[in-house]
Amino acid sequence: MIEVPATKFVKNFGQYREQVQREAIAITSHGRTSGYFLSEHEYMEYLQLKASSRKAYNVSELPDETISALATIEMDSAHDHLNSLVD
């Protein structure tokens, strides 16, 4: 990934519009990254990854099917020896 100062990016947008098809570009301002310029393909991959990520719930928001599954789950008997640790 290359880094480009924001002023240079604005002045040479056409050049970077072509280059972003090969690699993402980090846009910097005052030496710090302030954003990224991605190709449409990379952005769509990001959206798919974000959509497939796990969802965290507050206990009060758990779906009923998750609560039912948790209520009936049992540990594999191979781990019975661990029960003595909590007794």
Residue 52, pLDDT above cutoff 90: no
Q: What is the pLDDT of residue 41?
A: 95
Mean pLDDT over the full length of the chain: 91
pLDDT band at 26 (very low <50, low <70, confident <90, very high): very high
Q: What is the pLDDT of residue 45?
A: 93
Task: Evaluate if pTM is beyond 0.85.
Answer: no
Mean pLDDT computed over 46-67 = 85
3-state helix/strand/coil string of 30-46: CCEEEEEECCHHHHHHH
Mean pLDDT computed over 48-56 = 83
Query: Token pair for residue 21?
Result: 């098809």
Residue 28 in contact with residue 5, Cβ under 8 Å?
yes
